[in-house]
Amino acid sequence: MKQELIIRNLKEKSELFSDISEQDINDMIKESNRMDFKRNEKIIFEKESQDFFGILLKGTCQVYKVINNKEVPISTLSEGDFFGEISLVLNTKRTASIKALSSVIILTVKKQQFLNQIQNNSVLSNQLLRVLCSRLAKTSIQMSTGVRESLKAQTNYSL
């Protein structure tokens, strides 16, 4: 994919990049690498250390956690979505696993490049904060609904 097309697609399809200038997007992805994955191929593994921020350019992926040896879906990523920011910002291991649900193309940005960009670009930092807060709110709602359903099942009460 050509750089101009990638930038245009990110501005159109990504919450993170919609308000970011084309030059700033170019600065972030200029030293990125492309990775291709086939359907069901694992992209990242929970509790592993990896040093890249991923941007999904093509396809869909499933974010999941392994609980009692079963893959428990958390969310689905589509074109323009991103992942890996939590472990890079907090300097921790990956918090979930990701696998390709279709043929996938990912752009990877090295950790230091990503951290430099969010440190030096307040618009990008604010967008990242907005998206992360939105994800947190959605996860909180999902968890409270799950807890409510679990309690109902255990007690046969309606909450």
**pLDDT value at residue 154:** 62
pLDDT in tens, 20-62: 889 988 888 888 999 999 999 999 999 998 899 999 999 999 9
Share of the chain above pLDDT 90, in %: 43
pLDDT, average across residues 133-138: 83
Which residues are registered as beta bridge partners of 61? 77, 100
**pLDDT value at residue 79:** 94
List the one residue out of 85, 143, 93, 137 whose CA is nearest residue 115: 85
Q: Tokens at residue 134, please?
A: 């939105």
3-155 CATH: 2.60.120.10
3-state secondary structure 95-118: CCEEEECCCEEEEEEEHHHHHHHH
Query: Which H or E run contains 62?
Result: strand 61-67
**pLDDT value at residue 137:** 84
pTM of the model: 0.81
Alpha-carbon gap, residue 75 to 149, rounded angstroms: 19
Query: What's at 46, amino acid-wise?
Result: E
Are 84 and 137 a contacting pair, CB within 8 Å? no
Alpha-carbon gap, residue 144 to 91, rounded angstroms: 28
pLDDT, average across residues 130-157: 72
Alpha-carbon gap, residue 66 to 41, rounded angstroms: 16
pLDDT in tens, 70-87: 998 988 999 999 999 988
pLDDT, average across residues 88-96: 90
Query: Which H or E run contains 144?
Result: helix 122-155
Alpha carbon 143 to its chain's center: 19
